[in-house]
Amino acid sequence: MSDRVFQKLHILADAAKYDVSCSSSGSNRSNKNKGLGNADQGGICHSYTEDGRCVSLLKILLTNHCIYDCAYCVSRKSNDIQRAAFTVQEVVDLTINFYRRNYIEGLFLSSGIFKNADYTMERLVSIAKKLRQEHKFNGYIHLKTIPGASEELVHQAGLYADRLSVNLEIPTEEGLKLLAPDKSRAEMILPMKYLKNEIVRFKEERQIIKSTPTFAPAGQSTQMIIGASGESDKHIIQTAQHFYTKFQLKRVYYSGYVPISHDKRLPEIGSQVPMVRENRLYQSDWLMRFYGFKAEEIVNDMYPLLDLDIDPKLSWALRNQQLFPIDINRADYNLIVRIPGIGVQSAKKIIMARRFGPLRIENLQKLGVAINRAKYFIICLGFQQLYADKSGANIKQYILAQSSSKYVKNNSEQLSLF
Amino acid sequence: MLKTLIYDGTWAGLLTTIFCSFEYKWQIATIQHRDEPVQSGLFVTTETILTDELKTKRVLLGLEKKIGLQGIKELYYVFLSECKHRELLILRSTHYYFKSNPKANLNYAHDDILKIKKTVRSVSRERHRMTAFVRFQKMKDGLYFANIEPDFNVLPLIANFFKDRFADQKWLIYDLKRKYGIYYDLQDITEVKFSHTLDRNTIHIHLDDDELHYSYLWKNYFDSVNIKERKNTKLHVQSLPKRYWKYLNEKNLF
Ligand code: SF4
């Protein structure tokens, strides 16, 4: 018996690993009546894989049997691989026992589509329900929403799960048609729309009636595969912005395509995973979520592709030299946070510290500003701008020359945000 | 006259010490834990401080008005960092806070405050890591047990986290470096001390029958989710520093 679970776990964790979403944040489900577990608002990574990704949840497929044939997916029906399926009880046992040993924050359950959408969704929901009701489990649960599942089931999923997600996978509609002929964008968007409305409705009700149950308190997320269908960065970033604003998604994940098959429609096996590009997309995503940038400022018809050699914030600043230099001691937070070399944390510190007196370069350095980068864009006490008449291209050369080591590292796949 | 103050090594003791420094306007050369050998200089007199609850409270109340609970928490984190001269740093900044306007702890241009923020960041990071990296092993009697060796004295900072989370199981987390642990008995948390530490073999004898099964499953899971095309050892080691591996069963099966 235990050997079989061992085998299944191997197959069904391996098949789920291409979903890069790992977050366990955004929910603050508390531990009621001395049950088991709670959700940490900020999320916790309990381990890191050898490729450096966070391991936070037990991320598995319920089964890798699938009636569909999406070209980019290892579980597609035409792929000759070992198939397996967990029982409801097996998933519950694994979750509880891993959780009690503090291995995980909770469960991320996805599945291939077997029989039909409802049949699959029903099983996912029954696992979440069992965990919540029979085991008084308050840890994090992320369920995949199966496109085409009935609203009633999606509704139930929202009652038990912290987060729900539908993966768009392919950023453009034409790409999706080509690679996943059984799927339609419209079918994916339907549950997203339904969930968005329900999340808003429950939140409003909760403000009036405190006892209203939570409904997907950590919201919805999605994932797009990068580099499988010839899409541009502009496509990806604008799609992301569209979903952030129209569907109020909590997160969009970007997953550099890992070649898994000899399909003429897709990059060859052995071709490089576009990890630098993926990193630049995450940086752009941060700019939209935390720095007040619009998609059009990062990529547009004139600049449809992200620079690979510099980060998108620096790239934006170099294209908008007329806005600089910015006076550290007077400018608004919104402007300060846009200066290359200054992150959200140091921008906040600047705003607080300058109330005690004007800041000099030394002060900025000590509170974490990357002066090497910022010095081209600022003025502060005792520091005038020397580079104001230089072109963006010139400054880019200076910065690359100075910090070559950092960018070389970046190109060799170091993932860091600013 | 310069003074060396000797205190009992507790947070309350340090706060009492600070109270005395204000009350008697002492010039203080060093503040020492009573277990450390006293370094007496020619022009230094020593003074032993008796921890006093009332004095402690008064310092805390005064600090709260100036820097709020958040500011006090920062000082407490610095205290738990065990870093050298932390007592003097806390003393100096307390004096600075009392003579400045409220919220002076936000003056990021001040050297002592920068030092405090930096230390707080390190201690918070370690606290956060311990909420993540503690690995319980289930014992035959149902107790969930974990050994840790954190860089700072973070047990006081993680106790409530584990109490809230694992409210329905008995657990014990033991700090091997500082030789004490915290034990939760389904009601309260108490500090415990072993007469001799539990080594691997002793623990092994007492493991629950299912323990190895789940430990292997976890290691198996960890290996299965790796994407070898994305291998990035540098990032891996940066996020999961090697000094923690000893107590992570996915890196090092118990
Ligand atoms: S439906 Fe999902 S599991 Fe099935 S082939 Fe497509 S992506 Fe893979």
* B84 closest CA partner among B59, B105, B115, B121: B115
Three-state DSSP state, A48: strand
pLDDT at B61: 96
All residues of chain B having their beta carbon less than 8 Å from the beta carbon of residue A37 are: 165-166
The model's confidence at residue A364, banded by pLDDT at 50, 70 and 90, is very high
Instruction: Tell me if the bond preceding A267 is cis, omega within 30° of 0.
Output: no
**B222 Cβ partners below 8 Å, 6+ apart?**
A47, A49, A55, B250
Scan for tokens 């503090």, then name that residue. A102
CA distance A106 to chain B (A): 12
Nearest residue (by CA) to ligand 1, atom 6, is: A70
Supply B171's token pair.
């657990």
Q: In A, which residues are within 8 Å of B168 by CB distance? A: 34-36, 136
Q: Give A255→chain B minimum CA distance, Å.
A: 11
When scoring B113, B143, B224, B239 by the number of chain A Cβ atoms within 10 A, the one with the most, hence best to mutate, is B224
Q: What is the pLDDT at residue B207?
A: 92
Q: Which of A384, A347, A353 has its CA nearest to residue A369?
A: A347
Please give the single-letter amino acid code of residue B22.
F
Does the beta-carbon distance from A34 to B222 stay under 8 Å?
no
Count Cβ atoms below 10 Å from residue A28 Cβ, excluding itself: 14
pLDDT above 50: residue B59: yes
The pLDDT value recorded for residue A391 is: 83
Query: What is the complex's ipTM, to 2 decimals?
Result: 0.92
Question: Which residue in chain B has the smallest CA separation from A96?
Answer: B214
Confidence at A247, pLDDT banded by 50, 70, 90: very high
Query: Are the beta carbons of A165 and A222 closer than 8 angstroms?
Result: yes
| pLDDT of residue B41 exceeding 80 | no
Tokens of A114: 């077997």
Say how far apart CA B142 and CA B145 lie, in whole Å: 9
Looking at CA atoms only, how far is residue B222 from chain A in angstroms?
A: 7
* Residue indicated by tokens 């690979």: A308
**So what's the pLDDT on residue B67?**
96
Closest-approach residue (CA) in chain B for A270: B229
| Residue A196 to residue B93: CA distance in whole angstroms | 49
**Interstrand relation of B2-7 and B27-33 (parallel, antiparallel or unpaired):** parallel
**Chain A residue with the nearest C-alpha to that of B210:** A97
Which residue bears the tokens 């430990």? B215
Mean pLDDT of chain A: 91
pLDDT at B211 > cutoff 60: yes
Residues of B in contact with A365 (CB under 8 A): none
Q: Nearest CB to B221: which of A13, A48, A363?
A: A13
Whose alpha carbon is nearest atom 5 of ligand 1? A76
Q: How much distance in Å is there from the Cα of B145 to the middle of ligand 1?
A: 41
Mean pLDDT, rounded, for B152-180: 96
Judge whether residue A172 has pLDDT over 70. Answer: yes
- Taking only the tens place, the pLDDT of each residue in A344-360 is 999 999 999 999 999 99
**B245 vs B240: CA distance, rounded Å:** 8
Question: Is the pLDDT confidence value at B237 over 80?
Answer: yes
Sequence-distant (≥ 6) Cβ neighbours of residue B9 within 8 angstroms: B33, B34, B35
Query: Above 60 in pLDDT, residue A156?
Result: yes
Q: Per residue in A399-416, pLDDT tens? A: 888 765 544 444 444 444
Q: Record the tokens describing residue A33, joined without a space.
A: 């009546």
Cα A225 to Cα A35, A50, A231, A286, distances in angstroms:
38, 21, 10, 18
pLDDT above 90: residue B64: yes
B128 near A CB under 8 A: yes
User: Closest ligand 1 atom, CA of A66?
Assistant: 4
Phi, psi of A361 (to 5 degrees): -55, -45
Mean pLDDT for the stretch of residues A301-309: 94
Q: In the structure encoding, which two tokens stand for residue A150, read together?
A: 């009935």
The tokens describing A16, both together, are: 């789920």
| Separation of alpha carbons A167 and A176, rounded Å | 12
Share of chain A above pLDDT 90, in %: 72
Q: Out of A17, A76, A78, give the residue to mutate to test ligand 1, the one with the largest number of ligand atoms within 8 Å of its CB.
A: A76
CA angle B29, B34, B38 (to 5 degrees): 50
Note whether B40 contacts A: Cβ–Cβ < 8 A.
Answer: no
User: Looking at the predicted structure, is the pLDDT value of residue B108 above 50?
Assistant: yes
* Burial of residue A79, with CB atoms counted within 10 A of its CB: 0-12 exposed, 13-18 middle, 19 or more buried: middle
Interchain contact, A49 vs B146, CB within 8 Å: no
Hey, are the CB atoms on B109 and A357 less than 8 Å from each other?
Answer: yes
Query: Which amino acid makes up residue A227?
Result: G
The shortest CB-CB distance from A49 to any of B146, B169, B226 is to B226
Residue A57: which of A135, A132, A143 has the closest Cα? Answer: A143
d(CA A401, CA A188): 46
pLDDT in tens, B121-159: 999 999 999 999 999 999 999 999 999 999 999 999 999
Chain B residues lying within 8 Å of A103, measured CB to CB: 135, 218, 250
- Do the Cβ atoms of A363 and A369 come closer than 8 Å? no
In this structure, the residues whose C-beta lies within 6 A of any atom of ligand 1 are A 66, 68, 70, 73, 75-76, 112-113, 180
At B217 the pLDDT is 95
Phi and psi at A283, nearest 5°, equal -65, -40
Signed CA dihedral, B148, B152, B153, B156: sign only: negative
What is the reported pTM? 0.90
Condensed to tens digits (0 to 9), the pLDDT of residues A34-80 reads 899 999 888 899 999 988 889 999 999 999 999 999 999 999 999 99
Ligand 1 centroid from CA B240, angstroms: 32
Question: Does the beta carbon of B193 lie under 8 angstroms from any beta carbon of chain A?
Answer: no
Task: Decide if B234 touches A, using CB distance below 8 A.
Answer: yes
Judged by DSSP in three states, B136 sits in coil
Q: Does B209 lie at the interface with A, CB-CB under 8 angstroms?
A: no
Flag if A363 and B108 touch (Cβ within 8 Å): yes
pLDDT higher than 90, residue A385? no
Q: Tokens 């980068």 — which residue?
A: A373
- For A103, the closest of B135, B227, B231 (CB atoms) is B135
State the count of interchain CB pairs (< 8 A) between A and B.
160
Give me the pLDDT at residue B208, please: 93
Predicted pLDDT of residue A26? 83
DSSP state string for B192-238: E--SSPPPHHHHHHTB-TTHHHHHHHHHHHHHHT--GGG--HHHHHH
Q: Which two tokens stand for residue A84?
A: 């397996």
Residue B236 CA, ligand 1 centroid: distance in Å:
29
Between the alpha carbon of residue A136 and those of residues A36, A87, A139, B94, B167, the distances in Å are: 6, 20, 9, 46, 11
pLDDT score of A393 more than 90: no
Whether residue B248 lies within 8 A of chain A, CB to CB, comes out as yes
- What mean pLDDT is predicted for residues B149-170? 96
The pLDDT, as a whole number, for residue B254 is 55
Q: Is the pLDDT of residue A165 over 60?
A: yes
Lowest-pLDDT range, A120-129, A157-166, B202-211?
A: B202-211
User: Within 10 Å of residue A404's Cβ, how many Cβ atoms?
Assistant: 10
Of A123, A170, A173, nearest in space to A144 by CA = A123
CB atoms within 10 A of CB A151: 12
Q: Whose CA is nearest to atom 3 of ligand 1?
A: A112
- B146 CB neighbours in chain A (<8 A) are 102
SS3 A218: coil
Instruction: Give the three-class secondary structure for A64.
Output: coil
